[in-house]
Structure 1
Amino acid sequence: MVSCTEATTSSQPKQQTDTLEATPYGKLYLRSNQPLVNLLPNVPDILPDVGIATFPKQKKRAMIRLPFANNTSLRKLLVIDKKTVWQIQPCQALLFGSGMSIDADGSPRAYHPKNTGIDDLKHAGKGGKWWAIATKNGKPVVQKSGYYVSMTSLQDFRYAPWDQRRYVNAETIPYIVLPPKVKQSGRVKLGDVAVVYNTRNKRWAYAIYADTGANTRIGEGSIALARLLGVNANARTGGVANGIIYVVFPGSGQGKPMMYSTIRSIGKPLFDQLGGARGLLSLSKGILTP
């Protein structure tokens, strides 16, 4: 068994008492200095606990040994848009720093024939070729609401391809977007879990890998993820140029969409094994330029 506990730093993260609460409408509340016991049990907390998880073994390759983390090394996987994607050894988690552009795909309000959706139609396709809108007999499918059916790469196959419920809703589920090159090089699969950290305000959130982007850029998240991180979540004008750290855990998912409570229950122990926020910052110091 390969465990991320081997990659933790010697210092333990301080307990925090702030909590992030996401309502069904994606609104964000920050409540400072509130003990966890005073909060509703279904509110996601950001207190670090201890957990155990394992990942598949991989053949050893050339690595960079890090002096500041015991038994920890990073292997350079690839570079996309001048941003390096690292693999944390021994647990195989992927690490990279970037900004965050906003993805509305999967939202029932993402795209509209009159371009009045929450995202611009140019992000869904061009020249009659749609990559983010479901089609039937070559024509884009329109919901009863008048909006197009917006797709994500991760899908719930219990529903038909032209049923909006088949796709991961960007407004309610925090998810990340990865280029195909990362999927191929890092052995991650759709549905795997990630943790995303905003260095500007020290907020973090758990997410699911639910959509695929272009190989020419990296660093994209759903509207719900941006809200949890305190990033401008407007799909047309929002996002942030830098300051975001992503960690993706290969083999951690179920290969299908999940509710946030499940995403968090999987991601939290994995993040804790890296030492939480403090361990992540220590690991990425001097390596990442998010």
Structure 2
Amino acid sequence: MECTATNGLAVDADGAPDSYRVDGHGLSSTCDGVFAIVSGLAHTQKNDQANWQGLCKQQWAEAQATDDYSKVKIVGFLTDTKKRPIIQSAGDPLPGKAFVTINTLPIPGTPPSSQRHYANAREIPYVVLSNTYAAKHSLKPGDVVAVYRPRTGKLAYGVYGDCCSLGEASVRLHQDLGNDPLVTEADGTVRAKRGIGDRTLWVALTGAHTHPTLDSAAWRAEIKIAGETALNALGGITALKACKAR
């Protein structure tokens, strides 16, 4: 069995209807999904750790006031042809109150501009994979990965649901691993930001594919069955515990 270790597990709320609320009080902070563009460069946590958040807040406020979004790069939610954010509408969970937040796992038969089109991070256990990891293991969105937390002995199964890094998972998968990722801030805003600080082990269950559906309970059941079947074929939890991460 081949496994990969990550030093901790961050939280991804993309796809949850309340991830990015219009008023900024969603599971994700607006600047988790928006970057300021200065002199043609998007300022992020990686290239401008000291200033990226302040720049984002300033230029996001300007964009909302002027309806000109040319100075921000939106990566966390859906935009129209003019790069303006799309707000949930009739038929969506939070019409007029939240942006349509996206991930890489669409649900067939649903409109691409609808929030229902994307796997709900609150309901569906999914993992975020790097393109390199996905390619190495021939994984496509909807395929299953086992995630094991040695410190607690908790095992969870999640589908490949978003990109493009390794070491993040949805709200639901965190809960399946025994972690409560939801934190209530002083103003009452609930954020999805309490990650796991200890080591996790990942096993790509290549060939274990699921069928995305709006029936979250049925999809979760399919994920668990597909995951258990594939992991048992590789030696089960005993082999996973003995796996030496590469």
Q: What letter corresponds to residue 226 of structure 2 in structure 1?
A: I
Equivalent residue, structure 1, for 2:54 = none
Structure 2 residue 231 is matched with structure 1 residue 271 = yes
Normalised TM-score (structure 2):
0.72
Residue number among 97, 116, 119 corresponding to 2:5 in the alignment: 97
Equivalent residue, structure 1, for 2:34 = 125
Aligned-pair distance for 1:283?
A: 2.1
Q: What letter corresponds to residue 229 of structure 2 in structure 1?
A: P
Structure holding more helix per residue: 2
Equivalent residue, structure 2, for 1:146 = 97
Cα contact 2:210–2:223 (8 A) shared by 1: no
Q: What letter corresponds to residue 102 of structure 2 in structure 1?
A: M
Aligned-pair distance for 1:182?
A: 1.4
What is the DSSP-based 3-state SS (H/G/I as helix, E as strand, rest coil) of the residue aligned with 1:250? strand
Aligned-pair distance for 1:273?
A: 2.2
Residue number among 222, 226, 247 corresponding to 2:203 in the alignment: 247
Please list every run of 5 or more consecutive structure 2 residues that lacks an aligned counterpart in the other structure. 37-71, 89-94, 183-190
Change (3 A) 1:132 1:255: farther
Q: What letter corresponds to residue 280 of structure 1 in structure 2?
A: L
Q: What letter corresponds to residue 97 of structure 1 in structure 2?
A: A
Cα contact 1:176–1:220 (8 A) shared by 2: yes
Structure 1 residue ranges (4+ consecutive) displaced by more than 6 angstroms after TM superposition: none
Structure 2 residue 81 is matched with structure 1 residue 160 = no
Equivalent residue, structure 1, for 2:50 = none
Aligned-pair distance for 1:157?
A: 3.5
Aligned-pair distance for 1:167?
A: 0.2
Identity %: 27
- Mean Cα deviation higher: 174-183 or 163-172: 174-183
Cα contact 2:146–2:203 (8 A) shared by 1: yes
- State the alpha-carbon separation in 2 of the partners of residues 247 and 123 from structure 1: 28
Structure 2 residue 125 is matched with structure 1 residue 180 = no
Cα contact 2:127–2:170 (8 A) shared by 1: yes
Aligned-pair distance for 1:256?
A: 4.3
What is the DSSP-based 3-state SS (H/G/I as helix, E as strand, rest coil) of the residue aligned with 2:145? strand
Q: What letter corresponds to residue 100 of structure 2 in structure 1?
A: V
Cα contact 1:178–1:209 (8 A) shared by 2: yes
- State the alpha-carbon separation in 2 of the partners of residues 207 and 125 from structure 1: 26
- State the alpha-carbon separation in 2 of the partners of residues 256 and 228 from structure 1: 19
Aligned-pair distance for 1:197?
A: 0.9
Structure 2 residue 155 is matched with structure 1 residue 204 = yes
- Count matched residues: 191
Normalised TM-score (structure 1):
0.61
